[in-house]
Amino acid sequence: KTIIRPDSLPLPLIQPLPPLMPADTAATPLLAEADASKKRFTEMEQNNVLRRGVQLKQVDIKAKKKVYSSSPGGRQFADQVIEQDRIEGSYDLRSALEMNNPDIRFDKLGIPHNIGHRSLYDGFDVVVDGVLLDLGMLQQINPNEVQSIEILYNGTALGVKNNVIVINTKLRDPYHNYSKDVVAGMKAIKIQGYYQSREFYIPKYDAENKKADLRDVVYWNPDIIPDE
């Protein structure tokens, strides 16, 4: 019979934990600062200093941005509206129209035709700012001067029997903001207005005040000029 006994090691000595010391506000700088800050905000709230802001009532804006249209009936009669962001940067109005509407194609003479949309008429009339334009002049319009294009496959609302391309230019748009236009070779820079730096108020202790001053900064004057 064999008995195996492990070596007996002495138990480690466990030192007792030090007793907890009572918290002393005066001896702890962080607690003293927190207590002073709490007193300061309590006094400011009692003196109605923290309630200088005025809470405004909720305002619901129901109006919509006014959009310029030279069409007598407005945009509601248009089958398609091509906005300015899809026109700018195009080589000419022909490429802008063909890229944004697959039903419009131009012939060799630069005349637009309807090739896909179901309509009684094949051709288009072009109206620029309310004036009927010769089709040969369409290619001479600068795309960067166009605000929007309205396409109508039934010109009854305008008093014509043909399909109509209504072109609204920026020159006639009273709501157009020219400051947002991108001009080649120019960069728009917004100049910051004059800013007056804020200054700390230097308190005057002429009047007798029995209330304790609990502010962190009691006196601040950065403009002191020394004698030497």
Q: Give me the domain span that covers residue 128.
A: 75-176
- Is 97 inside a domain boundary? yes
* pLDDT digit string, tens, across residues 109-139: 888 888 876 666 678 888 888 888 888 788 8
- Is 145 inside a domain boundary? yes
- Is 134 inside a domain boundary? yes
Vertex 168 angle, CA 69 and 145, to 5°: 145
* pLDDT digit string, tens, across residues 8-42: 666 666 667 766 666 554 456 777 778 888 888 88
- Is 40 inside a domain boundary? no
Q: Per-residue confidence at 185, pLDDT binned at 50, 70, 90?
A: confident
CA 163 to chain CA centroid, nearest Å: 39
Amino acid making up residue 191: I
Q: Mean pLDDT across the stretch 208-212?
A: 69
CATH number at residue 107: 2.170.130.10
Amino acid making up residue 20: L
Which phi and psi (to 5°) does residue 86 adopt?
-95, 0
- Is 67 inside a domain boundary? no
- Is 1 inside a domain boundary? no
Q: Per-residue confidence at 103, pLDDT binned at 50, 70, 90?
A: confident
Q: Per-residue confidence at 220, pLDDT binned at 50, 70, 90?
A: low
- Cα–Cα distance, 134 to 124 (Å, whole number): 11
What predicted TM-score, i.e. pTM, was given to this entire model?
Answer: 0.51
Q: How many structural domains does the chain have? A: 1
- Cα–Cα distance, 192 to 194 (Å, whole number): 7
- Is 118 inside a domain boundary? yes
- Is 112 inside a domain boundary? yes
Query: In this predicted model, which residue has the larger pLDDT, 193 or 163?
Result: 163
**Residue owning tokens 């008429």:** 121
| pLDDT for residue 66 is more than 80 | no
Q: Per-residue confidence at 200, pLDDT binned at 50, 70, 90?
A: low
